[in-house]
Structure formats: C-alpha cells, structure tokens
Amino acid sequence: MIFKFKWVFIIALIAFILYCIACMFSPKVINASADIKINCTKGFLFVTMTDTKEWPKWVSWSKEDPALKYTTGKLEISQGASFSFVGPKFGSGSVELNEAFKDSVLTALVINDQSPVNVKITFQIIPERKNSLYLYAKARSVEPIPFIKRALWFNANDNLKKLLANDLTSLKSYLEGMINTKFGIESTIFKKKRYFGIRSIIFNSNIPKFYAESYPKIYAKLDSLNIPFTGPPVGMIFDWEGSSNNVFIMAALPIEANIKAPLDFEVIDIPDIPCLKLEHFGMYNTLKKAHSKLDYIMSSSQFVLQQPIIEEYVTSPSQEPDTSKWLTNIFYLLNNQGSYSKGVEKKKTMEEMIQEEEAERREKLKALNK
C-alpha cells in the first residue's frame, strides 16, 4: 500500500513540475491586436462605437454563443457608457468605455468571469481618405495572469487575436451595410419655409425626450395664437459635438404667418436652396442608416453642408401602425453662396490638420504601448 502511494505521489509530483514548466513558458499577459480598413467616415464610426446600444449589433460574440444576452448600463453613450452580457458559453461580464477622445481613440475595459484577467482594448481610428479609414485594435490584460493559471491559457493570445479580427470584420460589415442599404437619394431644391419651434442644446440620447416634451408645447402655442401649421413636424440639427455627444437641435412646425417669436420659442426661415433629399421608410430609430448614407456621399463629394439638417416626419404612429411604412424625409442643405470654393478649401485644410494630429497621436500611442 505504501509502495503504491509512493508511486502515486511521484507521478503527481512529476505532473505538477511539468505543469509549472508549462506555466513558465505560457504567456504572462494577454496581448493581441488586429486591424481592418473600413469604407466610412471616421465621425460615423466614432458615433457608432461610442454608443453601447450599437455594440451587440456588431460584436461577433453571439456567433460563439447564440444565447448571449446584452443589457445596457445607466449611461449608454461616450465615456463611462457600459453594457453587460451573459450567456451559457461566453460567460458573464461587462464592457465599459474608459476613453472616447475626439473621433480618434477609444478604450474599453472588458470583464469576463471566464477570463483569468480583465482586458483593456484600445481602438485607434486612422483616416485614409475622407470616406475611408483604418481601425487598429490592441488588447492587453490590465494585470499579469496568475502564475498557476498560465498553462490553462496557453492559447489565450491566439484566441483573442482571432476574436478581435472577427469583431472588426463584423463591425466593417455592419457599417458598410448601413451605407450600402438601397434607398434613393435625389438632388433637388428645398422650397423656402418658415418654421416655428423650440431650439436647445441637448445630449444625443435625450432627443426622443426633447421631441416628446417640445411638440405638445409648439402645437399648444400655435393654437393659442390662432396660427395654423402647414405641414408635418420636423427636427432640425444645427450642430453636434462628437466627443461629448451634444446636439444643437430644434423641434418645429412649418407656418406661413409672419410673426415675432414669443418667449422660449424661435422662428427660422429657410430659403430656396439646393439639397440632397432622401426618403426613409421605417422606424425612427433606423434613421442612422439613412444619415450614414448621406454622410458618406457628402464626404465623397465637394459639397459643403449648410445648417441645418432637416428631418421631416411625414407619417406618425397614429396615422400608420405598420412601422415599415413610416416615412421620414431627410434634407441635407448645400451651400450655394459665393464662399463655396473657399469653404471647400477650408474643408480640405481642416482635413490635413486632422491627419497631422492623428499622426502625433499614433506616435504617442506607440510610445505608451512599448
């Protein structure tokens, strides 16, 4: 019995020594990278990647675990935004955006109960042209893998590199798919209109709430002034800031009356002006597909965008229960003033400056990752 126990002990000791040797030759940290070229504007990519509601639509994780479920956190957009996930194969965990830097760099902390360590992924957006870019992703564990676990994660780097590559490929398909969606764009003239409404600077995710609160006030005010509206409600986007996700926006109704704007309301006149018009059918939350197409066309051309971008909500839910038949007309107004050529020149100069800044950031990022 003692002799048998002795051999069991020796075999176990040899196995433990071999396992420790395997741990010595296994990765100390998880480290992987991947890159891909995507045909879209960097602004469109940045807006998509800083919106955690969009992540489940493009990450490849559900291919490994079809039962994977996602839940967005309290903050959904930009730095601090997060979502959690849980699935029988992929495990449970969370993703939080730690950094979202001016359309160029994003970092995300990934926590997974099936991983020995937490992983931070840095995404860098490197413009190639106005409508194409390279996305570089580098993942690295935030702490070393515990020594005794390293042999179990011998292929961790290869597996993570494959997962990163799949994620980037899926993101490329998602973005380019939105751009290539078949719906017609026509070049036309926007006929002059006068709009009465409420204008404010708000957080991007609060747009539905802003509309829900503003339109009843606009209808009520026009009714009290005995002024009829002459068309469907519109949303007018005057400006936006990618890194903070703030939008300068107006909810409005078209009118013909020439009036002075009451307190807390504004009157905006849009003249006859060339525009790109797109008819979009579908739910309002699919409008991003339409804007991605227009954004890509604008960036591929010499057009200069004139404020505001106008969304005209032709069909309301009360009129048509079938969401596939909801019609929204989107108008991108085009600058047709004498400063057109100067505007194009300025646009190109700004693009060159952005590329110079990107080059500096790439060098800084390389230095940090050494």
Please state, as a whole number, how many other Cβ atoms lie within 10 Å of the Cβ of residue 30: 22
pLDDT tens digits along 188-240: 899 999 999 999 888 877 888 888 899 999 999 999 999 999 999 999 988 77
State the pLDDT at residue 121.
Answer: 92
State the pLDDT at residue 10.
Answer: 62
**Which of 241, 198, 254, 233 is CA-nearest to residue 328?**
233
Q: Is the dihedral of CA 208, 178, 71, 153 positive or negative?
A: negative
State the pLDDT at residue 234.
Answer: 93
102/174: higher pLDDT: 174
Q: Please tell us whether the domain made up of 185-336 is placed in CATH 3.20.80.10.
A: yes
Three-state SS across 6-29?
Answer: HHHHHHHHHHHHHHHHHHHCCCCC
pLDDT tens digits along 176-195: 887 666 446 777 899 999 99
Mean pLDDT of 147-161: 76
Q: How many Å apart are CA 329 and CA 116, to the nearest integer?
A: 50
Tokens 């395997």 — which residue? 22
Q: How many Å apart are CA 40 and CA 47, to the nearest integer?
A: 12
Tokens 């007018």 — which residue? 236
pTM of the model as a whole? 0.61
**Which of 187, 191, 242, 252 is CA-nearest to residue 222?**
252
**Cis (ω within 30 of 0) for the bond into 308?**
yes
Lowest-confidence region among 102-111, 172-181, 238-247, 272-281: 238-247
Write the CB contacts of 18 (distance below 8 Å, at least 6 apart in sequence): none
Write the CB contacts of 260 (distance below 8 Å, at least 6 apart in sequence): 267
Q: How many Å apart are CA 167 and CA 120, to the nearest integer?
A: 15
72 and 57 in contact (C-beta within 8 Å)?
Answer: no
185-190 vs 273-281, strand pairing mode: antiparallel
Mean pLDDT of 78-94: 88
238 and 249 in contact (C-beta within 8 Å)?
Answer: yes
State the pLDDT at residue 287.
Answer: 57
State the pLDDT at residue 354.
Answer: 41
Q: How many Å apart are CA 199 and CA 3, to the nearest integer?
A: 88
Confidence at 115, pLDDT banded by 50, 70, 90: confident
**Which of 136, 134, 113, 114 is CA-nearest to residue 32?**
136
State the pLDDT at residue 341.
Answer: 33
Q: Is the pLDDT of residue 252 over 90?
A: yes
Mean pLDDT of 75-79: 79
**Which of 43, 128, 111, 35 is CA-nearest to residue 73?**
111
**Which of 177, 182, 141, 138 is CA-nearest to residue 161?**
138
Q: How many Å apart are CA 138 and CA 143, to the nearest integer?
A: 15
State the pLDDT at residue 70.
Answer: 92
pLDDT tens digits along 320-363: 666 556 788 889 888 755 433 333 333 333 344 445 545 655 56
185-336 and 23-178 share a CATH fold: no
Q: Tell which CATH classification among 1.10.3720.10, 3.30.530.20, 3.30.2420.10, 3.40.50.720 matches the domain 23-178.
A: 3.30.530.20
First-to-final CA distance of the chain? 57
* Domain regions of the chain by residue span: 23-178, 185-336
Confidence at 162, pLDDT banded by 50, 70, 90: very high
Mean pLDDT of the chain: 78
| Helices and strands (H and E) in the chain: how many | 8, 15
85/1: higher pLDDT: 85
State the pLDDT at residue 243.
Answer: 57
Pure H helices in 135-204 = 156-180
